[in-house]
Amino acid sequence: MFCFVLPLLYPPFPFTFRKLAGCTLFITGASRGIGKAIALKAAKDGANIVIAAKTAEPHRTLPGTIYTAAAEIEAAGGKALPCVVNVREEQQVIDAVEKAVKTFGGIDILVNNASAISLTGTLETETKKVNLMMEVNVRGTYLTSKTCLPHLRKSRNPHILNLSPPMNLNPMWFKNHCAYTISKYGMSMCVLGMAEEFRGEVAVNALWPKTGIKCLYIYLCKCRNN
């Protein structure tokens, strides 16, 4: 397995230099939304993309499957490996990681993008939704990271990137959707803990949009809650 690394001290490379060429990215929830957008960006560099997501059959309202995403990734210049993965299911995560290593020779970057969301107050949030958010956002991130780490440690330039917010304890971030914020901060705490635990071996960081991102899934969630 070979992954290009951009030396920061060298003169700038031509714009055609592809930083992620040859790298393998394992992206959860990559069949649509931000996860797919990251996958397509990496695909333009010639990266290998493992699409670890649940949707194998067309959803009645949400567009895209792991197979349509794979087609788009390969059209953009990357190599795709679609894997049916519910991050709540440990064996599915293990199987997908093993398949990724067998297919591409290893894993260089893990993107923990898969998330469940319910922007509802405490009294309006059903227990099953609380369970879903905790299991997908916190446990799923932890489990996928744990499963990928032995392979990431063999990479020349390993990274874990969680789609999670900065740890701001201002009550305004909790009052309208307490359970959701707790679950996303759990992902951020994985960043804090693993970054220190694997310092010098694996870079662990978080990425969070500066503003809200409108998508069909959030729209549907709001419709269900109204």
Dig out the tokens for 71 from the structure.
Answer: 């087609």
One-character DSSP codes across 42-62: HHTTT-EEEEEES--S--SSS
Closest of 1, 87, 84 to residue 48, by C-alpha: 1
Res 221: pLDDT:
46
When mean pLDDT is compared across 14-23, 24-33, 41-50, 91-100, the lowest value belongs to 14-23
* Single-letter code of the amino acid located at 190: C
Q: Report CA-CA distances (Å) from 31 to 50, 72, 184, 185.
A: 10, 10, 20, 24
Write the Ramachandran bin of 161: left for phi over 0, alpha for psi from -120 to 50, otherwise beta.
beta
* Single-letter code of the amino acid located at 49: I
On average, the pLDDT of the chain sits at 89
Dig out the tokens for 36 from the structure.
Answer: 């797919």
SS3 68: helix
Res 55: pLDDT:
92
Task: For residues 50-79, give the mean pLDDT.
Answer: 94
- Separation of alpha carbons 198 and 161, rounded Å: 14
Helix or strand run (H / E) with residue 79: strand 79-84
- Spell out the SS3 assignment of 161-220: EEECCCCCCCHHHCCCCHHHHHHHHHHHHHHHHHHHHCCCCCEEEEECCCCCCCCHHHHH
Q: What structural domains does the chain harbor?
A: 24-225 (3.40.50.720)
Res 225: pLDDT:
44
Res 226: pLDDT:
42
- At 62, is the pLDDT very low, low, confident or very high (cuts 50, 70, 90)? confident
Res 11: pLDDT:
41
Structure confidence by residue, pLDDT tens digits, 74-132: 999 999 999 999 999 999 999 999 999 999 999 999 999 999 999 999 999 999 999 99
Is residue 2 scored above 90 in pLDDT? no
- At 213, is the pLDDT very low, low, confident or very high (cuts 50, 70, 90)? low
Structure confidence by residue, pLDDT tens digits, 134-148: 999 999 999 999 999
Residues designated catalytic: 180
Query: The whole model's pTM is what?
Result: 0.86
Q: How many CB atoms lie within 10 A of CB 35?
A: 24
Structure confidence by residue, pLDDT tens digits, 170-185: 999 999 999 999 999 9
* Total length of the chain: 226
Task: For residues 37-51, give the mean pLDDT.
Answer: 97
Is residue 16 scored above 60 in pLDDT? no
